Amino acid sequence: MPATRTEGGTSPGGAASAAPLGILCGGGTFPLAVARSAAQSGRRVVLVAIRGFADPAVVEGAGFPVEWVHLGKVGAMLAALRRHGCREMVIVGYVFRPRLSSLRLDWKAVGMLRWFLRARRGGDGHLLSHIASFFENEGFILRGAHEVAPEILVAEGTLGRVAMTDAEREDARIGFRLLRAIDVFDVGQAAVVAERHVQAIEAAEGTDAMIARCGEMRASGRVRLPRRSGVLVKIPKPGQDRRIDLPSIGVRTVERAAEAGLAGIAVEAGGVIAAEAEAMVRVADEKGLFIVGLAE
């Protein structure tokens, strides 16, 4: 029987899934969570870890083959994936935009300089779409982390013991509408809304720094709010390729939100990764924060 097809390539029952899954690993714990989930479903996994971003403590010793590469060694990345016979790949984990002068370019990357400069002229979504197209043009099938590890997505409903109020739900709705409205500008995937007032929008600094900024405004008296008020909202950009750079939350997100005095976190159900869900919910319960997946 011929293999069926899905968007982007052969289905899990096809020939590509018989080969090892290559995971290009940036920072954080999410790459390992995706690797473990894929392995539990019977996939062989190879980790291609980016030096300076991937954490050796996370990727080493997990029982998977690991290849370490520098971000500018594009040829080495491709060679590592092909050496292990990978046909499908996932890109997961954070990588900050580097200065071109800081990259250790190999000959493959040098030949791509004009392409790289064009790709950088825009927001993260613009850059990531170019990266996705590059790997596809090199013959790889790019999968989303949620495709190979669907259980790491936040489901609809309240995850812990703490429920959100009607007022907090309205703050979350405002955050959702805001982030969808600014999608055309290709900025961040998160915002903080408190008492129907937009306190912060994520830009190039990232979610943690945005949350810290909210805490600093409260501590300085610039923003006056009751303790444990305000909602951190995270959703995917409406126009983004969901195979790459889905927003994520974890234990650190909950800890930062608590430090900033927020009441909880609301995310788009099925659109946000939570690789450490049990630990994250436990910390949220301890600190009195809600975590909710909303389907709207």
* Lowest-confidence segment of 66-80, 123-137, 174-188, 252-266 by average pLDDT: 123-137
Average pLDDT (89-116) is 70
Contact 259, 208 (CB under 8 A): no
Question: For 145-169, what is the HEC assignment?
Answer: HHHHCHHHECCCEECCCCCCCHHHH
Reported pTM = 0.79
Q: How confident is the model at residue 126 (pLDDT cuts 50, 70, 90)?
A: low
CATH code of the domain containing 250: 3.40.140.80
pLDDT given at position 129: 72
Residue that finishes a domain, picked among 148, 173, 190: 148
Domain identity same for 77 and 136 = yes
**Helix, strand or coil for residue 194?**
strand
Please report the pLDDT score of residue 178 as a whole number. 96
Residues 108 and 158 in one domain: no
Residue 209 has pLDDT above 70, yes or no: yes
- Written as six digits, the tokens of 144 are 């989303």
| Least reliable range by pLDDT among 1-10, 49-58, 119-128 | 1-10
Q: Provide, rounded to the nearest whole percent, the portion of the chain with pLDDT above 70.
A: 84
| pLDDT tens, position by position, 136-171 | 888 999 998 888 888 889 999 999 999 999 999 999
280 and 33 in contact (C-beta within 8 Å)? Answer: no
The answer on 164 and 128 residing in a single domain is no
Indicate whether 136 and 235 sit together in one domain. no
Long-range contacts: 130-137, Cβ < 8 Å, 24+? 131/91, 131/244, 132/91, 132/241, 132/243, 132/244, 135/89, 135/91, 136/8
Q: Is the pLDDT of residue 7 over 50?
A: no
Range of the domain at 177: 153-294
Same domain, yes or no, for 181 and 272? yes
Secondary structure (3-state) at 192 = strand
Model confidence over 227-249: pLDDT tens digits? 889 999 999 988 777 887 788 89
What's the whole-number mean pLDDT along residues 198-220?
Answer: 92
Total tally of structural domains belonging to the chain = 2
Amino acid 1: pLDDT: 29
Average pLDDT over residues 7-24: 63
Residues 89 and 190 in one domain: no
Question: 213 and 289: one domain?
Answer: yes
